[in-house]
Amino acid sequence: MIEQSLVEYLSKKGKTITLDELEKYIQAAFLHEYISYQEFAQAILTLVQEKSVLLPIGRSKAGHRNGRNPSLHIKYRNLISPERTPRSKKEITIEGYHPAIRLDYYNKKTVQLEKDEPAIRVISDYLTNRPQNEKVWEMNERSLTLFGHEKWLKANESILTRVGITREDLCYRYSPEPFAYRKRMPWIVSESLLVLVIENKDTYKSFERLFKKGIAWFGGQLYDLLVYGGGKRILSSLPYLYEIDEYDGQEVIFDYFGDIDAEGISIWHHLMCSYPQFTIRPCRYFYENLVKKAYDKIRNLDESEQKDVEGLDLFLASFGQEEARKITNIVKGKQILPQEGLNYSFLYELGDVNE
């Protein structure tokens, strides 16, 4: 209700607008209703973050924000102003932009330029005022400072490509999510590392409790490291292995354990294909025990949860005929057997203390 009212108001206003103007309008428009600051602020944030209606002007410092909670910028570019009409090709110039900005892409795309221009102006202003020895920040840090939203750059890096600007130009880097891991205790340096990767957080936490107790023997295997996969996150976080103290160039073998469903199996397959330098195999011992001890926990997937499976035949090659049949029925039946079926008590029974 508030958002729609603001959109109608902004569609008749100029290219820039202040927070004070917007707040006064809402107070007048809803004269006989109480609109809290929190409701108003949420509407503004939605128009900035989700609707691409408003673009904050200025950096995320005290002088550019109102100091309330939640904090809002005091001035915005109105991206739906009637004054923002598409310009002709002749009007596309680099006048006023930093010399590094290139507009060739927009020669026949004036509408796209009109849409991108507020962001291009922010980029240009940063390049113009960038300190000589500017430090490299993380992506979300730079994004929040420049655009008022920590995820803006991740969603809109294509604009940088269009104008010929790199991450190095804006002094930021993208770092994949680091993986959480735990080493077995007592730690003994070995010539190879056997690593157990767990897809979901709660199951990882149960294994973590066991590792703390010195329980790292499972199915005749002594695991050196326990790694949290975090679903698809492991596809980008696995290279962090090279940065941990326990890795010293040894041979590494990964045993993967996740949900029995199309997505869980596909994650394992993508991981195996993405890192051919490692041996990454399904952990038969845990999958078989999951089927054995928690088969009654199978449930049907909602339509929104259903995915196409990749690498099913390769995955099934690690199992016996009966287990392969049951896994196939689950996956092709659009069902899931969550790995949480092997709860802490089951895992405690399956594990042994380090020898």
Q: What is the pLDDT of residues 246-291, one digit of tens each?
A: 887 888 999 999 999 999 999 999 999 999 989 999 999 999 999 9
User: Looking at 159-168, 183-192, 314-323, 336-345, which range is the least confident one?
Assistant: 183-192
Residue 238's pLDDT is: 87
User: Looking at 24-38, 108-122, 301-315, which range is the least confident one?
Assistant: 24-38
At 50, is the pLDDT very low, low, confident or very high (cuts 50, 70, 90)?
low
Full-prediction pTM beyond 0.75? no
Instruction: Dump strand ranges (E) for the chain.
Output: 16-18, 54-56, 75-78, 137-138, 172-173, 181-183, 192-198, 215-218, 221-222, 225-228, 251-257, 279-282, 299-300, 335-336, 351-353
Which residue is it, tokens 């962090």?
Answer: 240
Residue 59's pLDDT is: 65
At 85, is the pLDDT very low, low, confident or very high (cuts 50, 70, 90)?
low
Q: Is the pLDDT of residue 126 over 70?
A: yes
> What CATH number does the domain located at 2-78 have?
1.10.10
- In the chain, where does the domain assigned CATH 3.40.1360 lie? 181-353
Residue 145's pLDDT is: 86
Q: Is the pLDDT of residue 94 over 70?
A: no
At 208, is the pLDDT very low, low, confident or very high (cuts 50, 70, 90)?
very high
At 90, is the pLDDT very low, low, confident or very high (cuts 50, 70, 90)?
very low
**From CA 226, how far away is CA 228, in angstroms rounded?**
7
Q: Is the pLDDT of residue 27 over 90?
A: no
Whole-angstrom CA distances from 78 to 37, 38, 112, 119, 149 are 21, 21, 16, 12, 16
Q: CB–CB of 56/48 below 8 Å?
A: yes
Average of per-residue pLDDT values in the chain: 86
At 61, is the pLDDT very low, low, confident or very high (cuts 50, 70, 90)?
low
Mean pLDDT to the nearest integer, 99-124: 87
Residue 259's pLDDT is: 95
**From CA 143, how far away is CA 249, in angstroms rounded?**
36
**From CA 271, how far away is CA 256, in angstroms rounded?**
9
Length of the chain: 355
- In the chain, where does the domain assigned CATH 1.10.10 lie? 2-78
User: Looking at 20-29, 67-76, 87-96, which range is the least confident one?
Assistant: 87-96
**From CA 189, how far away is CA 248, in angstroms rounded?**
9
Q: What's the DSSP call for residue 134? A: P
Residue 55's pLDDT is: 84
Take residue 60 and report the two structure tokens written for it: 């995320």
Take residue 37 and report the two structure tokens written for it: 């600051």
Residue 89's pLDDT is: 42
The residue ranking higher by pLDDT, 287 or 353, is 287
Which of 1, 19, 28, 16 lies closest to 71 in space, CA to CA?
Answer: 19
**From CA 73, how far away is CA 278, in angstroms rounded?**
48
Q: CB–CB of 260/309 below 8 Å?
A: no
Strand partners, 318: none
At 340, is the pLDDT very low, low, confident or very high (cuts 50, 70, 90)?
very high
Residue 220's pLDDT is: 92
The residue ranking higher by pLDDT, 207 or 107, is 207
Residue 264's pLDDT is: 94
**From CA 153, how far away is CA 137, in angstroms rounded?**
13
Q: Is the pLDDT of residue 91 over 70?
A: no
Residue 87's pLDDT is: 46
Mean pLDDT to the nearest integer, 292-310: 88
Assigned CATH topology for domain 181-353 = Dna Topoisomerase Vi A Subunit; Chain: A, domain 2 (3.40.1360)
Q: CB–CB of 228/204 below 8 Å?
A: yes
At 60, is the pLDDT very low, low, confident or very high (cuts 50, 70, 90)?
low
At 92, is the pLDDT very low, low, confident or very high (cuts 50, 70, 90)?
very low
